[in-house]
Amino acid sequence: MPDKTNRRWLIAKPAGSELSDANFRWVEGPVPSPGEGELLVRNRWYSFDPTQRFLLGRGESTDAESGAIPPGDVMRGLAISEVVESRHPGFQAGDVIHSQAGWEDYTVTDGTGFAPAYRVPEGVTPSWALGALGLTGLAAYFGVTEVARPTPGETFVISGAAGGVGSIAVQLAKLQGLRVIGIAGGPAKCDWLRTEAGVDGTIDHRREDVGARLRELCPDGIDIFFDNDGGPTLDLALERLRSKGRVVLCGGTSHYALTPPPPGPANLLALVMVNGRMEGLLARDYLPRLPEAVRAMLPLLRSGRLKSKEDVVVGLRNAPAALARLYAGANVGKQLLRMDGEADAPAGGSGPPPARRGSD
């Protein structure tokens, strides 16, 4: 593709405890060519996820064994891309795929990575494929329906309730007949949780005493705590766990950037006293069951019973800013980036685009 230019964001230096534009470097160069067993893809949409923080390293240097990207290599994330040229037996030109891709116009990939490449299901828009019907949605769906083992009428409390996973999980919990309390940061997030997601109560961890509000909103205790945050919030929830209560460990956004990582929860003995259970959740483990989750959630999305809340930034130039929004807690819903000039059309075939209000 000699007439094309590949714009790219490279890692300039490890992030340490702070993330800024100085951690990235913008370059332009030729479009690469795929080798045997590889694909050349044109990237269309990107997902921004808290665990991308690990790709930026800790401290002043990167440790190859940590999974951090060395300075000079392209930054990457989960993306929706169109196959331009294929030398891979499993894909052909024109396929729209979900895969790990560089922050760049064109990526060469062999389809492996944190999440193996797969074709976007029929009728699923790019934003849904990265959010409600992607790894984010898998964490929410199976975390609520299976790991939490819900029973109608139970009290379900969730941290990071207005983020990518949380904004889907709170709605699925309501559909399961649970009483839902969402913990989020800021009035806009709490307003969305009450008015759009239909939760039964909210706690603004930036302005309110979380422990006092948990006592007020959950006087009889907590049956299920879905944790996206970790840190002191987890300890407070453990204090109020009811008999046979469950804790779903999905994330720890409060300490991803801390060096060294903080000590673990101080109230683990509470699990013993209530015969409780704490279980971790890794979304990629559920990828073989993606069709099951799509069958369950796609009709809900199309009918509006499940709302896909998305925060969309436009343009590859704005990728570092989109990531910074995530860590600053500025996003409401799933943080996404749509490439310059990319229409919000169905990726996997016909079907209506999601109704949403983004930041584009």
CATH of the domain at 121: 3.90.180.10
Q: Is residue 352 part of a domain?
A: no
Range of the domain at 43: 5-131+308-338
Same domain, 161 and 239: yes
Same domain, 120 and 13: yes
The model scores a pTM over 0.85: yes
CATH of the domain at 195: 3.40.50.720
Same domain, 145 and 279: yes
Same domain, 280 and 144: yes
Q: Is residue 265 part of a domain?
A: yes
Instruction: Point out which residues pair with 5 in neighbouring strands.
Output: 30
Same domain, 183 and 249: yes
Q: Is residue 346 part of a domain?
A: no
Same domain, 145 and 247: yes
Same domain, 152 and 272: yes
Q: Which two tokens stand for residue 360?
A: 């584009």
Cα 83 to Cα 110: distance, rounded to the nearest angstrom: 12
Cα 348 to Cα 222: distance, rounded to the nearest angstrom: 40
Q: Is residue 163 part of a domain?
A: yes
Count how many domains the chain has: 2
Same domain, 126 and 212: no
Q: Is residue 185 part of a domain?
A: yes
Q: Is residue 348 part of a domain?
A: no
Same domain, 106 and 184: no
Instruction: Point out which residues pair with 184 in neighbouring strands.
Output: 204
Q: Is residue 293 part of a domain?
A: no
Same domain, 274 and 156: yes
Same domain, 276 and 173: yes
Sign for the pseudo-dihedral over CA of 33, 37, 42, 45: negative
Cα 193 to Cα 196: distance, rounded to the nearest angstrom: 6
Same domain, 149 and 50: no
pLDDT values of the chain reduced to their tens digit, one per residue, 360 residues = 556 899 999 999 988 667 888 999 999 999 999 999 999 999 999 999 988 888 887 655 445 445 789 999 999 999 999 999 999 999 999 999 999 999 999 999 999 988 899 999 988 999 999 999 999 999 999 999 999 999 999 999 999 999 999 999 999 999 999 999 999 999 999 999 999 999 999 999 999 999 999 999 999 999 999 999 888 999 999 999 999 999 999 988 777 666 666 777 888 999 999 999 999 999 999 999 999 999 999 999 999 999 999 999 999 999 999 999 988 889 999 999 999 877 654 445 433 333 333 332
